[in-house]
Every structure is written in C-alpha cells, then in structure tokens.
Amino acid sequence: MIKSGDEIRQAYLDFFASKGHLVLDSAPLIPKNDPSLLWINAGMAPFKSYFDGSLEPPKHRITTSQKCIRTNDIENVGKTARHHTYFEMLGNFSFGDYFKAEAINWAWEFVTEVLQLDTDKLWITIYEDDEEAFEIWHDEVGLAEERIIRMGKKENFWQIGTGPCGPCSEIHYDRGEAAGNSAEDVIGGEGDRFLEIWNLVFTQYNYTEAGEYLELPNKNIDTGMGLERVASILQETETNFETDLIKPLIDQVVEMTGIPYRKDQTTITAYRVIADHIRSVAVAISDGALPANEGRGYVIRRLIRRAARYGRKLGFENPFLYKLVAKTAEIVEAVAPELKNQLEHVENVVKSEEKSFLQTLAQGLSILEELLLELEAENKNLISGQDAFKLYDTYGFPFDLTEEIAAESGFKVDQQGFDQEMELQRQRAREAREETNFSRGELEKTYAEFKTELAAEPFTGYNSLEEKA
Ligand code: ATP
Ligand code: MG
Ligand code: MG
Ligand code: MG
C-alpha cells in the first residue's frame, strides 16, 4: 500500500511515466530567467517558456515533483491544516499534446486506483461554463451530477492579464465533520474539512487586448497536487504537520524542549511554524539563497526570525534551528538531494543568522526595559506608537513581542499609533523609490516595505507576481 511521502511521489511519477511522460527532477527554488517571480511557487513555473511556446520542450508530456515556496501562505502556517511556506507539488504537463479528457481520466485513475482513495469522499469542482469538463466527469468517469460543483471565474478560471488562460477543475477530499464544522467548511471554502488536493488547469484560450477569448491552436495541461496533503489523507493524520514529511522535525524539537507538542494551542502553533519554516529555509539556502535585507534573502531572514521567535515561546534562548537541518535533509532527500551535500554550509548560515537575531533582540529588550522604567517614573502605562515602531524598525522587535513583554509589566501599547507610523514608513519608502528612480534591488528594503510587498504578492500559484483576473 502506498503511504509514505516518498512512496506517493514515486507512485505519481511512475504513473505518469507509464502514460508517456518524461520524468524530470525538481527545478531549484530560485527561478531562472524569470524576474517576475521571487520563488518557484508551482510545478508549472519552471516551464513557462514551454507553455507560451518560446522554447521547445524536450518532450510534450512532462511530469515532476516540484519544490515550491509560497510566502503568501505564511500567515496560514499552523493555523490551517494544509498550508506551508515550503511544499512539494506533483504535476503532469501537456504542451500542446493531450488535453482535458486524458487529464481528467488519468487524475481519477490515479486517485482511485493507485492511491485508492474512497470515491465517496471525493468532490469535483469545475468552471461553471465548462460543459466539456462536466461531460467528461459525468459521462466518462461516471460521477453523479451532484458530485460536480460548478464554481465561478474567481475560483475555477486561470487568467493572468492577457495571454493563455483557461478553466480549471479541482479534486477535493471530504475529511468529515470532525475536521471542520464552520461556515467555511464547504467545497472551495477556507475551512479544512474539504481538502483541495489537485488542481487541473486547462489552458485553452488566448485572452486578447480586445477582450476576446480565442481558442488556442495548441492547448496545454498544467496540474498541481500537494504532496503533503495527499500524505495526510493516506496516513490518516489530523493535519499535514503529522505526516512523515514534517512530523520528524516536530518530534526533534519536542525532544529538545521536553514540552509536549499538544500541550496547548500555543505550543502546537509554535512547533508547526518552526518545522515549516526550517524546511523553506534549509532547501532555499541549499539552492543558493542567503539571508539579506532585500528580495529573496529577506524572505529567508524573515522566516528564520519568525521561527526563532516561536522558538522563544518554547523556551529557546540560544540558536536551535540549525540543529534541524540534518533531519530536514533526510526528509527531503529524494526531491532535494543538494541539501545533504551542503549540510555544513546550510547549518552555518542558519546558525549565524539566529545568533545575529538573538543579539538584536537582546539589544531591543534592554531598550524596552529602559523605556518601561521611564514610563513608570512618569506614571504612564502606555507605550507610544512611535516608540513601538522604533523598536520594530531599528531593532527588528515585532509589535506583538513588544506587546507581550509590555503586558507582563502591566503596560499597553498604542496599536493605532504604531499602524500610523507603519503607514508613514510606507509612504516614505514609496517616495524614496520615486526619487531614486527605483529599480529592484537598488534600494534597501525596510521591514515595513517588505511587509507591504508580501501582502501585495498574490502568488496565485500558476504564474508570476501579477494578479490573477
Ligand atoms: P488552497 O485553496 O488550499 O490555498 P490553492 O488553490 O491556493 O490551495 P493551487 O494554487 O491550486 O492551490 O495549487 C495546487 C495544489 O498545490 C493545491 O491543490 C494543493 O494541493 C497544493 N498547495 C497549494 N498551496 C499549498 C500550500 N501553501 N501548502 C501545501 N500545499 C499547497
Ligand atoms: Mg492558496
Ligand atoms: Mg484553492
Ligand atoms: Mg487551487
């Protein structure tokens, strides 16, 4: 029976190889020749030039398991059962070769015959006007009409500005009421009950400047299936975090702290965030990224700092993340063998970044303590937005940390004032950009600006940084 992450990946690649696909290794996380993209965020991303026809693919059918980073999901990590910053996307691609009928029939064959998922738990979404997809699911696969849910453009149509676009169809797995019972636990909703496992994109139109959808002469297929999500189903775990792709990391941290994983919601979240972030950081560094104050490097820096902060909640006062790199390398070896070869380098980078963050924190902490003494002397119990912002901006002291420490001594922090300062900072950054005729990478990015950028990055998954329509 197929169960482990490694077995699922292999079964997927073998299955599509048996359907005439060329199996390729995962591309590195850092995109090549694609300035529009910070990280590879979907299986199709390395193949954009095959999709738009500017390069000829080595074969018209390709399958991969692709390493992905999605920074736009960072806030979801630990909150939902299914989101990571680093994950693997299994995919099969057709460049002007097979189309909808094969993509759908093979997807169904794979989930029901190879993975042997319970068909009663599977639900399909299609784009509302995609009669062709409906007929294939209904007449060829044989699904009842009520199992095929029609959704609008927002959910089931992929389009990025003008150019190739098309409807998609997604496979969802019902994990039962126990997995979620809120208004969001509907198919396509934000809840965790109906788990979206596989997206099949049918690139069949060219959207023109004139606003017309013209049929493409060469239709493409682009699919993406989340490995960790499928593993959670086959391993019958509560969330992705208890699968063999992540849990060994949580176990290692638990061993280090002695605090049970499920002690309370805070520990659960902390362990999940740490395990998630170290996977991103370790694999990205092995692909050539380094902590920095801008761009990709800033993502690495932010992920390490964020994980270190959650580590503090578990009592870590010294660098500890770097100790998880070796275990990460074992887990991802089949898809990211580079990590094992560069273990020492990656450990050193993570450790020194942790050290410098701890120094910054210590500095900020002593300034905060001084500030509290001053306020106390003045009989005040509110830290101004300006002071909180200074701690944040100069010492990398996140707002919630200031709030937390302040609360311990009975102080409050002016959140509104802090937000105002943040907005002013954004304005300054914008103005500075205009003045210096900003080009990417020239101007040092501030924390605040980076946050704005993160919030604005849609990372819709199937293309560039541009917004999906
Ligand atoms: P969701 O709606 O759950 O956020 P999505 O619609 O953003 O997922 P797609 O862009 O369609 O995801 O990506 C294809 C597949 O990749 C998804 O069906 C899912 O299995 C997987 N996937 C997407 N985002 C993540 C993530 N952050 N962590 C783990 N797996 C993911
Ligand atoms: Mg998403
Ligand atoms: Mg979705
Ligand atoms: Mg999707």
- From the list 229, 228, 225, 205, the residue with the least C-alpha distance to 215 is 205
Question: Can you tell me the distance from the alpha carbon of 387 to that of 392, in angstroms, rounded to the nearest whole number?
Answer: 9
Give the residue whose CA is nearest to atom 19 of ligand 1.
Answer: 226
- Res 430: pLDDT: 79
Question: Is the minimum distance from the CB of 188 to ligand 1 under 6 angstroms?
Answer: no
Q: What is the pTM of this model?
A: 0.87
Closest ligand 1 atom to the C-alpha of 77?
A: 27
Distance 188 CA to ligand 3 centre (A): 6
Distance 224 CA to ligand 4 centre (A): 8
The radius of gyration of the chain's CA atoms, rounded to the nearest angstrom, is 24
Helix (H) or strand (E) holding 101: helix 100-109
CATH number corresponding to 5-234: 3.30.930.10
- Res 408: pLDDT: 80
Closest ligand 1 atom to the C-alpha of 196?
A: 18
Supply 375's token pair.
């306020």
Q: Which ligand is nearest to the CA of 229?
A: 1
Distance 22 CA to ligand 1 centre (A): 24
Residues in a beta bridge with 321: none
* List of residues 6+ apart from 467 with CB closer than 8 A: 160, 458, 460
Contact predicate 42/461, CB 8 Å: yes
- The ranges of the chain annotated as CATH 3.30.930.10 are 5-234
Distance 375 CA to ligand 3 centre (A): 48
Distance 223 CA to ligand 2 centre (A): 14
In this structure, what is the dihedral angle of CA atoms 251, 69, 300, 308, given to the nearest 10 degrees?
Answer: -30
- Res 441: pLDDT: 35
| Ligand 1 mutation target, pool 39, 83, 202, 239, most atoms within 8 A of CB | 83
Supply 426's token pair.
């954004």
Question: Is the minimum distance from the CB of 84 to ligand 1 under 6 angstroms?
Answer: yes
- Res 82: pLDDT: 96
Residue 10's SS3 state is helix
Question: Is the minimum distance from the CB of 461 to ligand 1 under 6 angstroms?
Answer: yes
- Res 466: pLDDT: 29
Question: Is the minimum distance from the CB of 224 to ligand 1 under 6 angstroms?
Answer: yes
- Res 434: pLDDT: 63
Q: Which ligand is nearest to the CA of 246?
A: 1
Distance 190 CA to ligand 1 centre (A): 12
Supply 306's token pair.
């964020």
Cα–Cα distances in angstroms (integers) from residue 297 to residues 304, 396, 444, in the given order: 11, 16, 12
Residue 365 sits at the vertex; the CA angle it makes with 364 and 369, to the nearest 5 degrees, is 120
- From the list 450, 446, 440, the residue with the least C-alpha distance to 36 is 440
Question: Is the minimum distance from the CB of 82 to ligand 1 under 6 angstroms?
Answer: yes
Question: Is the minimum distance from the CB of 198 to ligand 1 under 6 angstroms?
Answer: yes
Cα–Cα distances in angstroms (integers) from residue 243 to residues 16, 67, 189, 238, 283, in the given order: 24, 17, 23, 9, 19
The per-residue DSSP string of 189-200 comes to SSSSSEEEEEEE
Exposure on the CB side of residue 450, measured as CA atoms within 13 A: 22
Question: Can you tell me the distance from the alpha carbon of 308 to that of 360, in angstroms, rounded to the nearest whole number?
Answer: 12
Closest ligand 1 atom to the C-alpha of 84?
A: 28
Question: Is the minimum distance from the CB of 196 to ligand 1 under 6 angstroms?
Answer: yes
Q: Work out the angle between the directed axes of helices 385-395 and 399-408 (0-180°, nearest 10).
A: 120
- Res 467: pLDDT: 28
- From the list 49, 31, 26, 77, the residue with the least C-alpha distance to 296 is 31
- Res 428: pLDDT: 86
Q: What is the pLDDT along the chain (469 residues), one digit of tens a residue?
A: 899 999 999 999 999 999 999 999 999 999 998 888 899 999 999 998 898 888 999 999 999 999 999 999 998 998 899 999 999 999 999 999 999 999 999 999 999 999 999 999 999 999 999 999 999 999 999 999 999 999 999 999 999 888 889 999 999 999 999 999 999 999 989 999 999 999 999 999 989 999 999 998 889 999 999 999 999 999 999 999 999 999 999 999 999 999 999 999 999 999 999 999 999 999 999 999 999 988 899 899 989 999 998 998 899 999 999 999 999 999 999 999 999 999 999 999 999 999 999 998 888 888 999 999 999 999 999 999 999 999 988 877 878 778 878 888 899 999 999 999 999 988 887 777 665 443 333 333 333 443 443 333 332 222 333 222 2
